[in-house]
Structure 1
Amino acid sequence: MKYYLDLDMEKCSACGACAVACMDQNDIAPRARAPFRNVFSVDKLEDGTLKPAYASLACMHCADAPCIPACPSACLKKDESTGFTIYDNENCIGCHSCAMSCPFGVPTFNEAGKMEKCDGCAVRVTHGMEPACARVCPTGALKLYTQVEYENAHLDKSVHKLLKLI
């Protein structure tokens, strides 16, 4: 079953709980490096006035992810059970081809020079749990959908709508 992790920018309060949960889930030490999920402040134009808005962004798990064919050591692939773009950096040679091909600049590199990124908490999702970021979101801005739920949901405030404007 394919899943989608979506953000309702109208609900995001930029509290950062998602980023902290990501760090905890992925054993990223505070101040050691950035989490796989980050919160950004953006300005949106509403009725001729700029108003603040927030976006919690991580890997977009693109349907046709350019990072997958860009990796010469086949470290990236689509997870068959979730549809998320996952990685196994065992064979990573640290060439940064994945990062250069990603339009969102998502792949990061650990202290050993190996690529790491958000995997949508694929193991959690496979076992019936929400991704860590969605589980702790106090406003419900981050939500996990099955493909059927996603197709039937009214996602006019979705980050995917924002991406279509870019």
Structure 2
Amino acid sequence: MAWKIELDISRCCACGACAIACMDQNDIDLSTGVRPYRTVFREETRRTGEIRYYSMACMHCDNAPCVTACPSGCLYKDPETGLTLYNTQYCIGCHSCAMACPFGAPTFGPDGKMRKCDCCIDRLRAGLEPACVRSCTFGALQLVKADEDPVPPEHSLVAQCRELAESQK
């Protein structure tokens, strides 16, 4: 069964609980230069001055460019979950994945090895929600089957990004 994390941008209040849960779950120490795998962004439209927030992490693309770009096989698509996963044991630190990712998801630790959101795969396999979803008090983040779409289209991140781009003209 393929999974994805959906964001209902109309419910995100930028509290940062998802990013903090991500850091806690993955033992991320910001002093090492590694950034959280999930980040909260703030955008203001030029036309109306409206402020919007959105939480972003690896999109686990169907045809993930990072997987194609990785020369060592560190990144791969998990056939069971459909997620884009990684094995740092195979990472050679070339940054090809980071250059290929249109979302800037891959980050590199002090050891030079790539890390990114793995949708808390160990939690998923144990029947639990990813840490970011569990911590989202307003329900902006939801774990869903890839063929489902519980977020109304007008509240999706794609729709909001298109609207934001139009307002910046």
Alignment of 1:1-166 (within 5 A): 1-32=1-32, 33-44=34-45, 49-150=48-149, 154-162=152-160
User: Structure 1 CA distance, aligned partners of 2:3 and 2:155?
Assistant: 18
Q: 1:116: how far off?
A: 0.4
User: Structure 2 CA distance, aligned partners of 1:164 and 1:63?
Assistant: 21
User: Structure 1 CA distance, aligned partners of 2:27 and 2:100?
Assistant: 26
Question: Which AA in structure 1 matches 2:39?
Answer: N
**Which secondary structure does the structure 2 equivalent of 1:55 belong to?**
strand
Q: 1:164: how far off?
A: 6.2
**More divergent stretch after superposition (94-103 vs 156-165):** 156-165
User: Structure 1 CA distance, aligned partners of 2:126 and 2:158?
Assistant: 26
Question: Which AA in structure 1 matches 2:132?
Answer: C
Q: 1:7 to 1:26 in 2, by over 3 A?
A: same
User: Structure 2 CA distance, aligned partners of 1:70 and 1:149?
Assistant: 28
Q: 1:153: how far off?
A: 5.4
For structure 1, list consecutive stretches of 5 or more residues without a partner in the other structure: none
For structure 2, list consecutive stretches of 5 or more residues without a partner in the other structure: none
Q: 1:163: how far off?
A: 5.5
What TM-score do you get using the length of structure 1 for normalisation? 0.90
In proportion to residue count, which structure has more helix?
A: 2
Q: Deviations over 1:7-51 (max 9, x none)?
A: 111110100000000001101124433111110101247xx5221
CA contact (8 A) 2:9 2:155 kept: yes
What TM-score do you get using the length of structure 2 for normalisation? 0.88
CA contact (8 A) 1:6 1:160 kept: no
User: Structure 1 CA distance, aligned partners of 2:51 and 2:162?
Assistant: 20
User: Structure 2 CA distance, aligned partners of 1:163 and 1:84?
Assistant: 23
| Aligned length in residues | 163
**Which secondary structure does the structure 2 equivalent of 1:156 belong to?**
helix
Structure 1 stretches of 4+ with a deviation exceeding 6 A read none
Q: Deviations over 1:39-75 (max 9, x none)?
A: 0101247xx5221010111101111100001001000
